[in-house]
């Protein structure tokens, strides 16, 4: 007989011999048997196992068994286990009351009847099994109740979560997706429409065609969940409002019953529209940024192209400040191609201005520093002396104020400044020339009137004291000086006019330069003598062969001598030297006179130029003499220079003329020395002067008389013819332009008058051109003099006869 379910039985007995017997009896019950020979062992066994029954042997005549029962009762695991006492035979005094009080359920006397024992054990085992099951049932019941409570609580929590979830949620049931449950967020999303109990397609007609129903159908059919993010969905959120596009993260999950069959779908989602919009906005702004940066790049490129194409220099500099914030230098960051040609600076990137131009003026740092600090642009023109350039600069701050960056757009305007300066100088020169011309005209009037006054008064004196020879001589001399001065002035003027008009013809001859000297000295002698100066001559003995217009070079030397005499206080010293220097003849005229201030040296040869006119006003002059000198010398291929140590230090004028080549020198012929002014070697001649200008005629006649000749005067051609016949002159000075018979006609008539054909005929004209000369020659004249004839020339001419 097997006990079901299998049970454990504890055998407790101090008599070990009893165990095999008991074990044999209970063997076929299938129960598991455990031995315990002492109380100790028994307690151990009940700690380790659950027993259905304990067979506790009572020792004969002892109450040990009761103690053991008592101790077992105290153990929780064995408290309720039925105890069957096995009493030794003869133990009539078994303390039943005590034993049952201790939980014994039965009593078996020894020897044990196996059938009874087995029946009792199986009864208790069964009872034990029932008790266990009942206990188990009780446990299960309370567990179920607990579970129910837990399910309830979980359900409540779920509902709460469902309701409170920040996501929108809905439960659809069945293949038609009927709304069973929706939370607040779902309602808010879809505009509070009546949903529960309705089919999805009915309540969301606007979703038709957007693909959502297909997805739900698929999840329902397959049970596979669907996850989607950022799905665009067009929803009618208010009954009257236009459909609105939203973006959703969505989950559809199949719901199953206990058997695993799909019964519905859980819809779970989050409205991500704001995020999508933000992302779109971000994408858009990134796009815009990209566009802007592209635009910036393009515009930067445009600027670069622009700056590269301008013909101005462009650069960006970064100001460098000292700790006190004062600009001390700047660094070049970038520049265009024109930079180099505009500044002359190369490889400047990252270099500083001071590195490139060490002594650059602080003006540049201050100016740009101010722009960098104040942000106020400037435009200016300034000279960078250290770079030998002028710049026109526009400076403007770029970037944020802390960057201290300044852009410079600039041009090298050195050339413009130069031409401006040239223009200014030209204008100044022109106005100076104009001033000199005006002054010249005033001076001219003055200079012409000056001699006229004494001449006029001289004439008056002559009229009154005509018979006083002494007075007459004095006045004649005075008048002669005055006229000479006027003639000189007018000659100079005419010469200048001729040179300027390119009409001055040079009568070039090959001569020894020394021959020119005597005429010049003679011309100047009156002035030299009047100034009581000592004239020293230092003339080389060597031949100085030159190819010159003798008259003009004579005029040059005379002019220099006259000036020396004029601008040297009375009793001065004048040195005239003439020598050879290489292939040049050098004439120098030095005086110890008023000298020339350094600032006037450069302009002294200019037309109308006069050193401070007040120096020696009495000397007069037009300021054209030296100009004439220079032009004449230059026309001869020579040069004239001046030196003076300054005021009152005297002056030295030096004329250089090219010498004739050695080969040609032999052809030079020396002219006869012109006679000295005193006329001592002149023959006494009979001279007729024919001139309709009475003064001219008379003054010439007077000069000739003074020279010791005998003269006769006639005032027209006819009278002249008569006088010639009567007087039989050796020489006739004949004016050309006369009323009635002109000079040519008179000359021709005289040449064809017997006895008179060999008279020396001298033409006196106001014109001295080549043409005039050849005409007079044709008419039979021997000489040709321009009026007024100079004493020296007349003398020289007469000396030749
Ligand atoms: P002018 O003598 O008629 O004034 P010039 O052309 O001959 O004109 O001379 C120009 C100026 O040069 C003079 O006015 C004078 O101031 C100065 N000058 C010329 N020669 C001398 C000299 N030997 N010593 C000092 N000054 C001189």
Partners of 269 in the β-ladder: 168, 250
Cα separation, 732 vs 711, whole angstroms: 10
Residue 594: predicted pLDDT: 93
User: How many Å separate Cα 14 from the centre of its chain?
Assistant: 122
pLDDT at 596: 92
Residues with C-beta less than 6 Å from any ligand 1 atom? 563-564, 567, 591, 593-596, 604, 609-611, 621-627, 651
How many angstroms separate the alpha carbon of residue 611 from the centre of ligand 1? Answer: 7
Separation CA 568–CA 576 (nearest Å): 14
Ligand 1 atom, smallest distance to 492 CA: 3
Q: Which residues of the chain have pLDDT under 70?
A: 1-5, 59-64, 89-94, 103-105, 285-286, 289-290, 293, 442-443, 446-447, 450, 466, 610-621, 662-683, 695, 702, 706, 766-770, 788-792
**Using one digit for the tens of pLDDT, what is the confidence trace for 591-610?**
999 999 998 898 888 877 76
Tokens of residue 17, six digits: 């011999």
Say how far apart CA 63 and CA 87 lie, in whole Å: 11
Q: What is the pLDDT of residue 665?
A: 39
Predicted pLDDT of residue 563: 92
How much distance in Å is there from the Cα of 609 to the middle of ligand 1? 8
What is the phi/psi pair of residue 31, to 5°? -75, 155
- The residue to mutate among 443, 604, 643, having the most atoms of ligand 1 within 8 angstroms of its beta carbon, is 604
Ligand 1, residues 531, 593, 626, 627: which to mutate, most atoms within 8 A of Cβ? 626
- Cα-to-centroid distance, 621 and ligand 1 (Å): 8
Please count the CA atoms within 13 angstroms of the CA of 728 that sit on its side-chain side. 2
pLDDT at site 625:
86
Token pair, residue 729, equals 């002159």
Contact 628, 559 (CB under 8 A): yes
Q: What's the gap in Å between 593 CA and the centre of ligand 1?
A: 11
- According to the model, what pLDDT value does residue 305 have? 78
Return the residue whose CA atom lies nearest to atom 23 of ligand 1: 564
* Residue of 112, 124, 132 whose CA lies nearest to 29: 124
pTM of the entire structure? 0.37
Place of tokens 């000396």: 799
Beta-bridge partner residues of 536: 575
Quote the ligand 1 centre to 454 CA distance (angstroms): 24
Report in angstroms the alpha-carbon separations of 126 from 29, 132, 139, 450, 781.
12, 10, 19, 180, 195
Ligand 1 center to residue 631 CA distance, Å?
15
In this prediction, residue 276 carries a pLDDT of: 76
Candidates 632, 402, 610; CA nearest to 516 is 632
């Amino acid at each position: 007989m097997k006990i079901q379910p299998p049970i454990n039985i504890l055998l407790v007995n101090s008599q070990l011999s009893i165990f095999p017997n008991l074990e044999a009896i209970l063997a076929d019950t299938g129960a598991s048997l455990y031995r315990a020979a002492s109380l100790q062992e028994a307690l151990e066994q009940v700690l380790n196992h659950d027993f259905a029954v304990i067979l506790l042997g009572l020792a004969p005549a002892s109450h040990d068994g009761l103690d053991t029962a008592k101790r077992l009762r105290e153990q929780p695991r064995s408290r309720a286990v039925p105890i069957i006492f096995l009493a030794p035979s003869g133990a009539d005094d078994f303390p039943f009351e005590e034993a049952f009080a201790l939980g014994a359920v039965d009593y078996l006397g020894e020897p044990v009847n196996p059938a009874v024992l087995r029946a009792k054990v199986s009864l208790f085992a069964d009872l034990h099994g029932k008790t266990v099951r009942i206990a188990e049932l009780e446990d299960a019941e309370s567990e179920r109740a607990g579970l129910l409570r837990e399910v309830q609580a979980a359900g409540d929590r779920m509902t709460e979560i469902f309701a409170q979830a920040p996501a929108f949620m809905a439960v659809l049931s069945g293949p038609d997706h009927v709304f069973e449950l929706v939370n607040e967020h779902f309602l808010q999303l879809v505009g509070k429409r009546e949903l529960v109990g309705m089919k999805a397609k009915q309540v969301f007609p606007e979703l038709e065609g957007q693909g959502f129903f297909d997805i739900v159908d698929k999840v329902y059919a397959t049970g596979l969940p669907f996850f989607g993010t950022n799905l665009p969905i067009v929803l009618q959120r208010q009954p009257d409002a236009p459909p609105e596009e939203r973006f959703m993260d969505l989950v559809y999950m199949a719901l199953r019953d206990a058997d695993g069959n799909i019964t519905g779908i859980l819809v779970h989602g989050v409205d991500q529209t704001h995020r999508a919009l933000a992302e779109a906005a971000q994408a858009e702004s990134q796009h815009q940024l990209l566009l802007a940066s592209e635009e910036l790049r393009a515009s930067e490129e445009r600027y670069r192209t622009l700056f590269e194409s301008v013909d101005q220099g462009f650069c960006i500099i970064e100001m460098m400040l000292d700790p006190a914030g004062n600009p001390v230098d700047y660094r070049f960051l970038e520049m265009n191609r024109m930079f180099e040609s505009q500044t002359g600076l190369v490889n400047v990137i990252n270099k500083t201005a001071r590195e490139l131009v060490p002594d650059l003026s602080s003006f540049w740092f201050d100016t740009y520093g101010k722009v960098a600090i104040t942000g106020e642009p400037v435009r200016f023109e300034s000279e960078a002396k250290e770079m030998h350039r002028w710049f026109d600069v526009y400076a403007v701050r770029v970037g944020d104020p802390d960057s201290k960056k300044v852009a410079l757009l600039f041009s090298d305007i050195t050339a413009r400044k130069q031409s401006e300066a040239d223009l200014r100088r030209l204008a100044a020169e022109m106005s100076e020339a104009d001033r000199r011309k005006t002054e010249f005209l005033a001076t001219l009037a003055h200079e012409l009137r000056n001699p006229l006054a004494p001449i006029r008064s001289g004439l008056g004196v002559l009229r009154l004291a005509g018979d006083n020879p002494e007075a007459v001589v004095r006045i004649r001399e005075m008048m002669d000086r005055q006229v000479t001065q006027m003639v000189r002035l007018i000659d100079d003027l005419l010469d200048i006019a001729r040179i300027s008009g390119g009409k001055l013809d040079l009568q070039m001859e090959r001569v020894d330069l020394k021959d020119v000297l005597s005429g010049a000295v003679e011309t100047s002698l009156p002035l030299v003598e009047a100034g009581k100066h000592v004239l020293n001559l230092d003339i080389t003995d060597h031949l100085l062969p030159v190819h010159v217009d003798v008259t003009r070079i004579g005029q040059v030397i005379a002019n220099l001598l006259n000036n020396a005499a004029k601008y040297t206080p009375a009793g001065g010293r004048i040195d005239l030297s003439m020598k050879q220097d290489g292939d040049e003849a050098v004439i120098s005229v030095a005086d110890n006179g008023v000298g020339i201030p350094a600032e006037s040296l450069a302009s002294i040869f200019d037309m109308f130029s006069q050193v401070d006119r007040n120096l020696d006003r009495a000397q007069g002059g037009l300021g054209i003499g030296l100009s004439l000198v220079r032009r004449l010398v230059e026309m001869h291929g020579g040069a004239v220079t001046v030196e003076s140590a300054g005021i009152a230090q005297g002056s030295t004028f030096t004329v250089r003329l090219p010498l004739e080549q050695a080969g040609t020198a032999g052809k030079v012929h020396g002219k006869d020395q012109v006679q000295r002014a005193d006329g001592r070697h002149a023959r006494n001649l009979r001279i007729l002067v024919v001139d309709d200008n009475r003064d001219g005629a008379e003054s010439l006649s007077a000069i000739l008389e003074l020279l010791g000749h005998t003269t006769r005067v006639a005032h027209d051609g006819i009278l002249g013819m008569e006088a010639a016949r009567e007087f039989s002159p050796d020489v006739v000075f004949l004016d050309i332009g006369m009323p009635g018979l002109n000079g040519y006609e008179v000359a021709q008539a005289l040449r064809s008058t017997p006895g008179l054909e060999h008279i020396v005929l001298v033409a006196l004209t106001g014109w001295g051109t080549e043409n005039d000369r050849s005409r007079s020659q044709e008419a039979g004249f021997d000489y040709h003099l321009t009026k007024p004839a100079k004493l020296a020339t007349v003398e020289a001419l007469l000396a030749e006869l």
